[in-house]
Amino acid sequence: MILTKAQYDEIAQCLVSVPPTRQSLRKLKQRFPSQSQATLLSIFSQEYQKHIKRTHAKHHTSEAIESYYQRYLNGVGRNGAAPVLLELANEVDYAPSLMARIILERFLQEHEETPPSKSVINSMLRDPSQIPDGVLANQVYQCIVNDCCYGPLVDCIKHAIGHEHEVLLRDMLLEKNLSFLDEDQLRAKGYDKTPDFILQVPVDSDRAW
């Protein structure tokens, strides 16, 4: 089904008032039942990433970080089982996984002797059980599993889809008996840039497959 610009704009406008959660995506599917889940997710992701890039800086001021952290502490102090961090992210219109990163970094700065490295933060976000605080670990986990635009779970899905498309492209090239070099072969030859495949023999652009 071909998506017109008017249809895209209508979906994009609808996204302005919804948080980037899987629940929102389900509501979007109900609103636009004729569009595929993949199409809606693609538009959802593109539009929200534009929004995050525009507003990223304001969430990373020292004042904003301290405000979010104190609100998190107050929230879990009242009820540690409630989705405090997820609700905070939705309230301030920021991606849940990115909010989880902010709070995790701030927590580790307070409780560790040395500033946390990026690799340590990434490892804890991929596996919240490594976080040395059970309540925060659960809060971070809730953010990650409910974020459909950012975070390690989304990165894993994107990687799996990319690998699937690479396999399909390889099968297509083999089916057409086209000679090609893959990424490993290109790296071995010293190429700086390594696309998935490069054809060894030029193909006429007008040739019909």
Q: What are the tens digits of pLDDT across the range 32-56? A: 888 888 888 888 888 888 888 999 9
d(CA 22, CA 38): 13
pLDDT at position 114 over 60: yes
Q: Look up the pTM and report it.
A: 0.72
Of the spans 4-8, 66-70, 160-164, which averages the highest pLDDT?
Answer: 66-70
Q: Mean pLDDT of all residues in the chain?
A: 85
- Mean pLDDT throughout 150-158? 77
Q: Tell me the mean pLDDT in the region 66-71.
A: 97
In the structure, what pLDDT confidence band is assigned to residue 208 with cuts at 50, 70 and 90?
very low
Average pLDDT over residues 85-95: 93
Q: What is the pLDDT of residue 203?
A: 63
Q: Locate 50 and state its tokens.
A: 């534009």
Reading phi first (left if > 0) and then psi (alpha if -120 to 50, else beta), residue 66 is in alpha
Q: Compute the average pLDDT of residues 136-158.
A: 86
Classify residue 92 as left (phi > 0), alpha (psi -120 to 50) or beta.
alpha
Residue-wise DSSP of 53-104:
HHHTGGGGSHHHHHHHHHHHHHHHHH-TTS-HHHHHHHHTT--HHHHHHHHH
pLDDT bucket at 190, cuts 50 / 70 / 90: confident
CB 143 within 8 A of CB 96: yes
- Average pLDDT of span 85-107: 94
